[in-house]
Structure 1
């Protein structure tokens, strides 16, 4: 039986995957995992030095990665990253739209307008920009493909992050489900990765600034700990691969059991 996944039996080997937010944390871990499976990886993030260092590390390990510095809130930057995938490797087969930004500890009524704008721009507009440039390429190729959007447990319930972040991640889940419904019959799968508290650069910074935050962050989790970025990244890689071929429009929890209680 031929599966409409945009991939053959070799899995991700030889396929091209775009990863945003690739300069650190979950994005960087995912990029390494994609490359280890034989994928060509297009790395996108704002910090060019981090991207070039990661691309060099992947190359030294025998993988293939191309850095494309850019900001997901800028449509032209995303368009350039997608074009780089096609120009460098001949196709775009999967994407992990992982870039995000948030805050903790500020009540809704005290949050500045510029913080609200940045949270909504990076998390919602960023995913929107990625989808609207990635999907036309996947459609034009006629072979389907897979897209994973990093959401959060905040996409399902209030987590202690600031209110606009919770709203933004609800929006990401909505975009994911809408895209899955619109393009599923053309072989494009779109799923959301509902990540729990993870030791990313952003979280580590917050932990240093807010006393007692780590205990609060893991209080709801069954496993009572923060995730390592690679633990979350493994699920993103799986969702981009053929093993998850009958999954689309799903909100996949990788949260240590937060959503179970």
Structure 2
């Protein structure tokens, strides 16, 4: 873990807020960390790979932002709780959180999916997110008092997803957890939303595009904007939902998919 500076008070969409980002070593999470810092938040990044976290934190600090990292394993509830407690130790409060951590498994019809792969994707994408979100809610209640959480779902959760059965099911579970948390904690001033990205050019998708270019091209053809998103574009939607400008938005699963679900 690195040292820290005090949260900044400059102008920005998330000015003065303390933000925890789970799964922030690369892809959407790393892009969100950079964006949130530019928008004035003091960011704490969490993931399993320290070298990736250190690189992103270094970039943010070099740009004048406030950033730290903590190690967290979404398959380990104690690790998740420790990460949240470290945010409180660093900044004395938690205002907003992005739960981006998750994994995919090889595309295959459901009857070919192994029990091991099913258990793995469930433990990270469903159980890990549940433990992260509940720990964050407890921390927000105990410190800032009110705040916001965004969970990263998938456009695959919104319909049948051939070849992605176990993965898509975990993301549909994320949508349900999001809606329930929004209802339970809205009266306390804690907003909980989800975003459902479409095809996004993360490292995983870039590798898929190299291995099966026709598959990604087909998705782009089905997308009205005729292209995939960059991680920064997904991060922008999350930043808005976490900001005070979305103060009357909760319980939503927002597709950020270039119109794929239209």
TM-score by length of 1: 0.93
Deviates more, 1:14-23 or 1:184-193: 14-23
Match of 1:79 in 2: 81
State the match for 1:175 in structure 2.
Answer: 177
Which of 189, 194, 200 is matched with 1:187 structurally?
Answer: 189
Quote the offset at 1:110 in angstroms: 0.8
Deviation at 1:48, TM superposition (A): 0.7
Q: CA deviation at 1:104?
A: 4.4
Q: Which residue of structure 2 lines up, in the alignment, with residue 209 of structure 1?
A: 211
Aligned to 1:225: 227
1:112 aligns with 2:110: no
Secondary structure of the equivalent of 2:261?
A: helix
Query: Is the Cα–Cα contact under 8 Å of residues 191 and 250 in structure 1 kept in the other structure?
Result: yes
Q: Is the 8 A contact 1:103 1:161 kept in 2?
A: no
Partner of 1:59: 61
Residue 211 (structure 1) shift: 4.3
Distance 2:13 2:230 in 1: 25
Partner Cα distance (1:245, 1:211) in 2: 41
Q: Secondary structure at the match of 2:167?
A: helix
Show the counterpart of 1:243. 245
- What is the CA distance between 1:119 and its match in structure 2? 1.0
Q: What residue in structure 2 maps to residue 37 of structure 1?
A: 39
Q: Which moved more, 1:12-21 or 1:185-194?
A: 12-21
Tell me the CA shift for residue 15 of structure 1: 1.2
Q: How many angstroms apart in 2 are the aligned matches of 1:61 and 1:224?
A: 33
| Equivalent pair of 2:19/2:97 in contact (CA under 8 Å) | yes
Gaps of 5+ in 1: 1-8
TM-fit CA distance, 1:84: 1.3
State the shift of 1:221 in Å: 1.2
Alignment partner of 1:259: what SS?
coil
Contact 1:153 1:159 in 2 (8 A): no
Structure 2 contact 153–171 (Cα < 8 Å) conserved: yes
Match of 1:4 in 2: none
The separation in 2 between residues aligned to 1:206 and 1:96, in whole angstroms, is 25
TM-score (norm 2): 0.92
Q: CA deviation at 1:105?
A: 2.8
Work out the CA distance in 1 between the residues paired with 2:143 and 2:177: 22
Contact between 2:100 and 2:152, CA under 8 Å: does it hold in 1? Answer: yes
